[in-house]
Amino acid sequence: MSTIFWKTLPISLQIFSFTFFIQQKVHAQEKKSDFSVLNQATTRDKYPPRMDVNISPPQFSQAFPPSPTTKKTEIKEHKTENHPFASSLHPSQTLSQIEASMMGELTSVAELSDIQPQDWALQFLQSLQQRYKNIQGYTGENLQKNRPINRYEFAVLLNAALLRINELQNTQVGILPTQKELETLQRLQKEFAKELATIRKKIDKSEEAISQRFSTTTKLSGRAQFVTTAVGRGNKADNSGEATDSNITFSNSIRLNFDTSFNGKDRLRIGLRSRNIPSTAQATGTDMARLSTRGDSDNNLEVSKIEYRFPVGEKSRVSIATKGAGFTNVADTLNPFVDNSTKGAISRFGRRNPIYRQGGGAGIGIEYELSNQLNFGIAYNTSDADKPDTGLSNSDYGIIAQLTFIPSSRGKISFTYVHSHNSINTRTGSAGANDPFNDASEAISANSLGLQGTFSVSSNLTLSGWLGYTRATAKDLPNNPTATIFNWAVTLALTNLGREGSVAGIVIGQPPKLIDNEYQVAKETSTDKDTSLHLEAFYTFPINDSISITPGILIITNPEHNSSNDTVYVGTLRTTFNF
């Protein structure tokens, strides 16, 4: 019965997504975009970009009536010296000084009729423009005429700022917003909810009209990385007795993405890549030393991703991929700043809980926002969907279901379940954890549980971590022996250290370890007797918004969970160009 269930599940998911896709086409006018700034990105776009509608504040001041609270009598000029915050706020102040001033008792902007030039809310938006630039609708003249603006004009600028902050969080490129900024934006969103809703309704109507004459456009983005790597001297951890390959290497990785939208709210992504990164796993004799930037195609260009994603209604999104599918399309790994291929960890293990790697290739996923505090994601991925002898239902596969709880803007916690078939080799742990049945089984069924969490200790300091547990069963061996695999990690990310946009990170953890095994060879069971520790540190220094340099070091004690092996040292220097 369970076999039939797992085989029919991918087909059911496809029918489900197709049904909602048709529904989306019929009710396209009811869709709205998500403008929340609460969910911090890690390495992926949570929602496809909206259509750019260039509406300046003066147009809105003509299109919208005065705020209901605006008096028809002549507006009295507010003199700076009489304003309650005149002594603490000034246009020349730094952002941190303005934030500190706003954290005290402030007059609610909901109590104001018009927004005065010296009001803290307007000062805050001015500071955002100075810090992040390119806020659409901000021309430099909007806020510099020393005149009050009505609530709708302010809401237009606030809406543009929210879009800019969301863009920065999704791309993880450039200066990232601080926790105080996110909290202040959340407050402004609440107090200007009525005006924002009116503005977004007009924008949606404009988008609906534009979509009828929308022309398909494709956007190119890319990333090039130069990677210098060296492995410390010692013996390999594979019991070969050979010395590690300790010569310094210099290699590259190039990735190109072609993003196409057909209605302004969906996205078709075709990814290409070329690389010649040598394997540090081969150089050291253990998968525990694998880097996050890896792979060797002899610099031949290859297709790495073909994925189409589209929203269904206001709260869900469907992702379908024929290549390059991954669980992270629908499940947040809750390791912000560290799980990032541009600015994050230098190691494969350090980026995320390894159970997220039990699936790939082709697949379908659905992400649904149950409420403001609760998200749910489910996906099915298979490695050989393009082969007629296996297809969607008979090839190696992985299925994930994750519930993410967001109690506040400062923290998240998620519970993850993964069921997989012949997919437990995550290439992050020991040889025993990667294949506990010594290559004797061709039908390994596994159930994995994950617990992930992240917490913003301050605006620049984020603490994250995870636990991963896997129970694997060899279905084709006598007595169906089982094996248990466990891993954990704690990560620390410090942003804007020394320079805005920088990320300093530390990862401490235990790579996947085989802690229990019923499978016997010559009447002896095999488990990992000792414990390896993963110690990693990196620092990403941005030269500008497009170029960054990341030096890092990785230390593995007791490689392969074997105290007889020499400690592994890996140093790397990664230079990244984003365009």
pLDDT of residue 204: 74
Q: What would you measure as the largest C-alpha separation in the chain, in angstroms?
A: 95
Task: Indicate which CATH number applies to the domain containing 338.
Answer: 2.40.160.10
Give the number of other CB atoms < 10 A from CB of residue 110: 12
Same domain, 137 and 224: no
Residue 377 placed within a domain: yes
Residue 505 placed within a domain: yes
Same domain, 257 and 366: yes
Q: How far apart are CA 317 and CA 24, in angstroms?
A: 11
pLDDT of residue 166: 81
Residue 30 placed within a domain: no
Q: Quick one: CA dihedral 262, 264, 270, 273, positive or negative?
A: positive
**Spatial contact of 443 and 421, defined as CB atoms under 8 Å apart:** yes
pLDDT of residue 83: 38
Same domain, 64 and 180: yes
What token pair was written down for 37? 């700034």
Same domain, 448 and 393: yes
Q: Is 0.85 surpassed by the pTM of this model? A: no
Residue 13 placed within a domain: yes
* Conformational region of residue 296, where left means phi above 0, alpha means psi within -120 to 50, and beta covers everything else: beta
Query: Which CA distances in Å does 457 have to 400, 454, 463, 464, 494?
Result: 29, 9, 7, 10, 10
Residue 26 placed within a domain: no
Question: Chunked in runs of 10, what are the mean pLDDT values of the chain (579 residues)?
Answer: 46 46 43 39 38 36 39 36 38 46 47 74 83 60 65 86 80 74 88 87 71 70 97 96 96 96 92 97 97 94 96 95 94 95 95 95 96 96 89 89 96 98 96 95 97 96 98 96 98 95 97 96 88 98 95 98 97 97
Q: Which of 165, 188, 211 is the last residue of a domain?
A: 211
pLDDT of residue 174: 65
Q: How far apart are CA 177 and CA 128, in angstroms?
A: 9
pLDDT of residue 472: 98
Give the number of other CB atoms < 10 A from CB of residue 35: 17
Residue 24 placed within a domain: no
Q: Which of 190, 211, 232 is the last residue of a domain?
A: 211
The alpha helices in 73-192, defined as continuous H runs, are 95-102, 120-132, 151-171, 179-191
Same domain, 91 and 239: no
Same domain, 186 and 265: no
Q: Quick one: CA dihedral 493, 495, 501, 502, positive or negative?
A: negative
What token pair was written down for 163? 């879009």
243-274 residue pLDDT tens: 999 999 999 999 999 999 998 889 999 999 99
**Spatial contact of 39 and 166, defined as CB atoms under 8 Å apart:** no
Same domain, 293 and 382: yes
Same domain, 246 and 202: no
Same domain, 173 and 295: no
Q: How far apart are CA 153 and CA 195, in angstroms?
A: 9
Alpha carbon 43 to its chain centroid, in Å, reads 3
Q: Which of 211, 234, 259 is the last residue of a domain?
A: 211
Range of the domain at 542: 2-18+215-578
Residue 32 placed within a domain: no
Q: How far apart are CA 409 and CA 39, in angstroms?
A: 7
Same domain, 267 and 147: no
Same domain, 203 and 259: no
Residue 429 placed within a domain: yes
Q: How far apart are CA 128 and CA 98, in angstroms?
A: 11
Give the number of other CB atoms < 10 A from CB of residue 312: 21
Question: Residue with structure tokens 């700022």?
Answer: 161
- Structurally, the chain folds into a number of domains equal to 2
Same domain, 202 and 232: no
